[in-house]
A and B are shown apart, each in its own frame.
Chain A
Amino acid sequence: MTSGTILNSKLFRIFFICAFFLTAGLFPKVTFAAENGPDTSKTKFDAKAMILEHISDSHSWPVAFPFVKEKFLPLPVILYTEKGLEVFSSDKIQEEGSVYAGKLHSYKLETNHVKVVDASGKVDEEASKKVWDISITRNVISLFLSIVILLIVFFKVSSSYRIREGKAPKGLQSFLEPLILFVRDDIAIPNMGHKYGRFMPLLLTIFFFILINNLMGMIPFFPGGYNLTGNIAVTATLSAVILLVVNLNGNKHYWKHIFVPNPWWLFFIMIPVEVVGIISKPVALTIRLFANITAGHILILSLISLIFILNTIWVSPVSVVFVVFMDAIELLVAFLQAYIFTLLSALFIGMAIEEHH
């Protein structure tokens, strides 16, 4: 067998991938050192703290590549205090216990929250409550990144539709056209009937926004690795949009169904139930997306931290195999949750605009 055929054989590729991950497992202290402070070797590995740090928001962006020590990109901290705005870089308070003396107060980072510190170096809870933190955090910057990616992709695709009008789609266009047609033919039309056109921009935006964030969350290194759709504030905002759209577009049959039950004397039980129904639908959407994505992240991180809990590299083959398996499932879940969120939104809107028959 010549070297060319060895390099091209499937078995060799699998071995190569396994060898790569196993050697990556040999240097746990390099890649994970920054997460537990400087003396990882002495302190016990705290899986819960590591997982919570990974899935929650933070004031700096960790940049991790294999075999390179993790670095933190500083992000701007913007605080709205009663005396005015305060803007500074987060690397001034990033180091544990460091205090930054700003124009109006002194600040310190405590469990990922910016707290006001008084002259003696103690945290002033009263003053901290008055400060509104509107910083560009990791989630905010990842939101901007997703928006930029979506804008670039869709402006490119729409311009190629204009240029190549009447011709077969090509490149990125031919990748996205089936997805767009899928949203139209399998989500919008069956649930909303002939009035689907007005809601297509909303449904497409929601579908692709959730999809890109789910997929970016699955990339473990720098441009990805964030947990935006696994943040309950983001999913709650998305469902609040759905709540508004459903109720502002509800026709008279929709409101009649809620406030005039069929045997009218049932009103004292039916009206509260229906009003709770208005609220509970978007809440269910919020929790479903949040919980699915967060659970996926927690599962993958726990499987990886198994190596450090048992403190031996011989667990790493098991861990890596399970993580690859879970990643494959998460890829399915990423598409599925974007689909389900859009499908249920279309269903709720369809129920609100349905004509009586």
Chain B
Amino acid sequence: MTGMIGTLAQAAGVHGNIGALSAGLAAIGAGIGIGQIGGKAVEAIARQPEAISKIQTNMIIAAALVEGVALFAVVVAAFLSN
């Protein structure tokens, strides 16, 4: 996989760090995850406005967990880019 990206990057005349690329890919994943959480939370609040406080706490916890996964990837990326 890494080799393929490397060849593609060479073919396109792009040079830089593979670590930066993987950090960017991780950000895409976390973005999708947090977007889903936020969207569903707003839907849930629209259905049941009285449950807003419970939904909000759970939303923030889930978002932090997703963010944690993205940051795992950033740590790995930092190791890669050395």
Contact = CB atoms under 8 A, between A and B. Distances in A.
Interface string A281-295: 000100110111001
Contacts of B67: 292
A336 interface: yes
A340 B69 CA distance: 13
A343 interface: yes
Contacts of A336: 60-61, 64
A340 B61 contact: yes
A337 B64 contact: yes
Contacts, number: 33
Interface of A: 284, 287-288, 290-292, 295, 332-333, 336-337, 339-340, 343
B75 interface: yes
Contact of A295 (B60, B61, B71): B71
Given A287-B72, A295-B74, A336-B64, 16 more contacts: A284-B68, A284-B72, A287-B68, A290-B75, A291-B68, A291-B71, A291-B72, A292-B67, A292-B68, A292-B71, A295-B71, A332-B60, A336-B61, A339-B61, A340-B61, A340-B64
Identify the interface centre among A284, A288, A332, A337: most chain B CB within 10 Å of its CB: A288
A291 B74 contact: yes
Contact of B68 (A288, A332, A339): A288
A290 B67 CA distance: 13
A11 B71 CA distance: 38
B9 interface: no
A287 B75 contact: yes
Q: Which 10 A-B pairs have the closest CB atoms?
A: A291-B71, A288-B68, A336-B64, A291-B75, A287-B72, A295-B71, A340-B64, A292-B71, A287-B75, A291-B74
Nearest to B65: A340
A25 B64 CA distance: 33
Interface string B37-60: 000000000000000000000001
Contacts of A288: 68, 71-72
Chain B's interface: helix, strand, loop or mixed, by majority?
A: helix
Nearest to A295: B71
Contacts of B72: 284, 287-288, 291
Contacts of A332: 60
B71 A287 contact: yes
Contacts of B75: 287, 290-291
Contacts of A343: 61
B61 to A, nearest CB: 7
Contacts of B71: 287-288, 291-292, 295
A292 B73 CA distance: 12
Contacts of A287: 68, 71-72, 75
A334 to B, nearest CB: 12
A268 to B, nearest CB: 29
A339 B65 CA distance: 12
A234 to B, nearest CB: 15
Nearest to B72: A287
A292 B68 CA distance: 7
Nearest to B71: A291
